[in-house]
Structure 1
């Protein structure tokens, strides 16, 4: 009887049927292991800002400009380098702009194609030919390879090169060929993308970001609290759904997500029109785009904003009462209102309410009316059944997780809740304590279970909501989410959300070391990468914590944060030599970029110095390749053994 290992070798033989095939693959894998590791890009807290996110990807977070500077040196002026950077990042737009390259004759196309081929070859040096071939557009792959690898120092080869170019231009393929070269360079300057959470909310184009990620060849995602909010709604949490729709109404992009995901919001608008009036407390925030709504549309949004807020607070109250183990009774705020006096009692003090809109509350203040039940259930069905939503949520499940250990670094979005003494704070669920790594694993299990079953307000869906807003949530990390107070109470003392001690302790080397060891990371070069909390650069805050052991890369990509942060986000690059921190200025528009003819949006700061160059064999991918090498070596031995014993496999 064949062992499990022998059965595996027989399956492997179907792909590598001869010794020559096995040895060829072994040689290839060993060669790959000794190449420099590819460049990784870490980005966090995108918050629906597609244009800014797309710009970072197109420019490789400034990596394209750096490659151009290294390659061309004094051969190009700084202005020429800037223009070439923009061309590579936005080839279609650059070539369509009549002023960007005002004069383009045959010699211009020849010169520009030669420059781009040289840059492409330079960006390809750390990859195998087979990997480079995979990023080339099919219609031009053969031509690009011929031109890239032709040595024009020989006269015959130079003539061959020129003939190909001449024929290409005679066929009027200069413009599409340049676009193809630029897109290939974009794909090579960053080998792998890490999204450290919060793709959704606050900005209007999260769907475009998700579409882009669906097409990305190499990406992982660590779920942020706002991503989990959407996953909670998809899993069946009606409280999560009302919350994300309320945020969309507040930040003025509810119509955009209705269109993007084909949601049926008509029952909601009809209900809000019937039960709510104008209320300036719920006026949506000013729109960040040139698009504007009519007065009637804004009035409708104001009413819907109120309706969603009250529905959210009602459903949250029901949820808290279902789960005494959440220990969130202090958030049953409807029960603390004196409706006759229009006040609320918090911590023994009465506060006047503003913008009160509690007309749909009944004796059971958290109960939904029959009409509200219908509206909420219709919204949930529309959300869960959206084909685009299903595709995007599946991507989050397939490529995402609560945390990731990659190349000996630890990535997670928010925090690991800590006690006041700096030790891990446990969460009790069903009589069992979860802390540290186990806490992240617990919530990941709930999220995957909830999204698989998609049952309305299931226990798993309720835990996902807790992960969004609970006191011991690794994604929230605060004492309470004071949304109600921010709407209805003018006294800002009630708005305060006290951060978990993690956010103080992460400044220390000892805490970072403790967290890394919790995940079995003992290398002195291991780092923690966080998002979630905007870095207040204007106040002098640094994104580098824990004596260089932790990076916070949420610098404020969201326009909603930029007045506080003073910048438009951080990203992080990690190449074979170490980390580089990139600071981004606000991205205005492609038109502005073309008009200025310069990209000044990033400034790199080298973190690691004098480190040994990292090869693929030292990485997570290297571990996988090492396993393949072991399996192929075992297959060779298995075949030799069968030949010696006269066994023939059919």
Structure 2
């Protein structure tokens, strides 16, 4: 007997195993129907606000402030709600309170003569801001975010209806009781943190959390506790990931860069890594060498004695020489990397104190190489080997560093497609003619999207693999991603570290950019990149960091008629003289794309005591004709698929194919 089935029944039968699993969560027709109604309603809520930051480089104070003020979003919401009857001074005070509630309340409690009156006025205002920030979310999502101590009270106040006369006394009494029982301080802190939580739905960090600035570890702690984020690895991040994995050459690079910027506290105090073996070795080996070419680059606020600077300079030189030797080992071991031109130690005439680079001979600024054997320049001395092995062990055994790096692996990737935006740190490697460059990974050649996928796979093996050979190869790839010609995270032909230290002629310091940077101004080229990664919408964009935008020279962060946005504007103080500002951030909300440029951040203390905010300029890049909803996002697509599955389950129940679990 032939059974005739309609198309929906066939679909149910094909998905029967999965639908039976769904019955565990939705055991009845009523349960499935309710969830469909809930999800369908969520699709029509406004799209959540996304916040994009990049190239933070350890500048934790500025980063934390931008995170707290959501690139000016919170202040704009205060102005929208209270701008007609609060002065700018009052708006600034309220904004500062929301950013730094604990610290600000300490000052206010000392200044206010009638604290209870101030509490009452402020509580009404801050509840109103919180209500505005929470309106994009379902009650369920809001409820999950509420602090346990005040969950019921906040929920009641957020959904207050002033037009309901019978309840006005009820709401007023809640406020009065909060003050009477001496919980106003804690309540304001809870609400302020909630506003910061609600105002941004998703945070995107497009690389380079580490190096240069003093607080990379503080930034990572902040990110670990953030409610929703993703990270696209930068070349500086990958270096620390390699060091934590056990790569000696990545470890040497990390210590060298920290020495160069006088930023050893991150290593020693932030991660509890012992640098005494390096210091002892450097003082003994270079005791008669002032190491002036290796003097640290310090900020004005850095305070070091002459002896401390001398010690850092010697440590700096010692680890740099170890790094050059270790890099030679990898270049010789991985011929497929094609980096033999970086075997510069082979080109030194140690007797004459000269070096030949690309056929031209230069004088060396520093001619003292007590640990280099001219006949075998890449061989580590026993003492150097002991130092780097101790450092390797310290990096691998730092619990805090391991926690941070595993967080980077779990939340991070080489690139991300998210809501029609392609996020990656630096570039897609190209040839001069604009075609995708191919590079050999694990014996096979890849290019474009496949290359990034394979490099990410190898990088993860460098940290997690139990196979000795795969782990070593992965660690070598982590180093290549830091410095190699075809690295999507580096984006240059070569890294001229040796030349910058040892050769006066600045023409040798040049690091030619990948052709990507020549083509990125072309809209046609950007569309080609987007298609390679599966994004064909007219609204798709590429969002990058890595190369600071020199706004000082008139460079715009907006490329290719708005198809590509470069939001590295100089978070790091080391770049701000070059860029002329202190970074760009990007906001993508239900109304469109907004680019925000920031002036340098004074200090957290000034933000609290003087109520100074980062001066920011908002540029509306794209304004949506119709306000975008959750249904227009990637999450919306997932919800639509869930609705489709639930409708199948509902049909299976009603057809009697699956029984309800009553």
TM-score between the two structures when normalised by the length of structure 2: 0.94
- 8 A contact 2:592–2:624 mirrored in 1: no
- 8 A contact 2:203–2:228 mirrored in 1: yes
Task: Give distance in 2, aligned partners of 1:646 and 1:396.
Answer: 43
Which residue does the alignment assign to 2:479? 465
Which residue does the alignment assign to 2:7? none
Task: Give distance in 2, aligned partners of 1:364 and 1:469.
Answer: 24
Aligned pair partner of 2:643 in 609, 629, 638: 629
CA deviations 1:122-167 (Å, max 9, x no partner) are 1111111111122221111111111222223444312111211111
Which residue does the alignment assign to 1:514? 528
Q: Say whether 1:344 aligns with 2:355.
A: yes
- 8 A contact 1:152–1:161 mirrored in 2: no
Q: Which moved more, 1:527-536 or 1:417-426?
A: 417-426
Task: Give distance in 2, aligned partners of 1:138 and 1:56.
Answer: 27
Distance 1:429 1:487, change over 3 A: same
CA RMSD of aligned residues (A): 2.0
- 8 A contact 1:95–1:101 mirrored in 2: no
Alpha-carbon shift at residue 633 of structure 1 (Å): 2.0
Which residue does the alignment assign to 1:160? 170
Aligned pair partner of 1:220 in 230, 251, 276: 230
- 8 A contact 2:243–2:251 mirrored in 1: yes
Aligned pair partner of 1:502 in 503, 516, 519: 516
Alpha-carbon shift at residue 288 of structure 1 (Å): 5.6
Alpha-carbon shift at residue 44 of structure 1 (Å): 0.3
Distance 1:159 1:436, change over 3 A: same
SS in 1 for 2:617: strand
Task: Give distance in 2, aligned partners of 1:438 and 1:409.
Answer: 18
Which residue does the alignment assign to 2:585? 571
Task: Give distance in 2, aligned partners of 1:371 and 1:533.
Answer: 38
Q: How does 1:166-205 map to 2 (within 5 A)?
A: 166-205=176-215
Distance 1:431 1:106, change over 3 A: closer
Task: Give distance in 1, aligned partners of 2:658 and 2:163.
Answer: 55
Distance 1:100 1:190, change over 3 A: farther
SS in 1 for 2:149: coil
Which residue does the alignment assign to 1:313? 324
SS in 1 for 2:319: helix
Alpha-carbon shift at residue 99 of structure 1 (Å): 9.3
- 8 A contact 1:52–1:557 mirrored in 2: yes
Aligned pair partner of 1:546 in 557, 560, 575: 560
Task: Give distance in 2, aligned partners of 1:279 and 1:335.
Answer: 22
Which residue does the alignment assign to 1:301? 312
Task: Give distance in 1, aligned partners of 2:657 and 2:625.
Answer: 51
- 8 A contact 2:548–2:575 mirrored in 1: yes
Q: Say whether 1:122 aligns with 2:132.
A: yes
- 8 A contact 1:83–1:598 mirrored in 2: no
Which residue does the alignment assign to 2:604? 590
SS in 1 for 2:445: strand
Task: Give distance in 2, aligned partners of 1:126 and 1:344.
Answer: 63
Q: How many residues of Structure 1 are paired with residues of Structure 2 in the alignment?
A: 646
Which residue does the alignment assign to 1:368? 380
Unmatched 5+ residue regions in structure 1?
none
- 8 A contact 1:50–1:206 mirrored in 2: yes
Which residue does the alignment assign to 1:400? 412
Task: Give distance in 2, aligned partners of 1:151 and 1:172.
Answer: 26
Distance 1:636 1:358, change over 3 A: same
Distance 1:167 1:100, change over 3 A: closer
Which residue does the alignment assign to 2:390? 378
Aligned pair partner of 2:277 in 267, 281, 305: 267
- 8 A contact 2:653–2:660 mirrored in 1: no
Distance 1:417 1:101, change over 3 A: farther
- 8 A contact 1:261–1:388 mirrored in 2: yes
Task: Give distance in 1, aligned partners of 2:319 and 2:273.
Answer: 15
SS in 1 for 2:296: coil
SS in 2 for 1:607: strand
- 8 A contact 2:261–2:297 mirrored in 1: yes
Distance 1:429 1:154, change over 3 A: closer
Task: Give distance in 2, aligned partners of 1:496 and 1:376.
Answer: 29
Which residue does the alignment assign to 2:433? 421
Task: Give distance in 1, aligned partners of 2:645 and 2:543.
Answer: 33
Which residue does the alignment assign to 1:236? 246
Task: Give distance in 1, aligned partners of 2:300 and 2:521.
Answer: 35
CA deviations 1:37-61 (Å, max 9, x no partner) are 1000000000011111100110011
Task: Give distance in 1, aligned partners of 2:399 and 2:423.
Answer: 30
Alpha-carbon shift at residue 373 of structure 1 (Å): 1.8
- 8 A contact 1:337–1:344 mirrored in 2: yes
Task: Give distance in 2, aligned partners of 1:100 and 1:190.
Answer: 32
- 8 A contact 2:601–2:614 mirrored in 1: no
Distance 1:270 1:167, change over 3 A: same
Which residue does the alignment assign to 1:84? 94
SS in 1 for 2:71: coil
Alpha-carbon shift at residue 463 of structure 1 (Å): 1.4
Which residue does the alignment assign to 2:455? 443
Q: Which moved more, 1:602-611 or 1:98-107?
A: 98-107
Distance 1:172 1:645, change over 3 A: closer
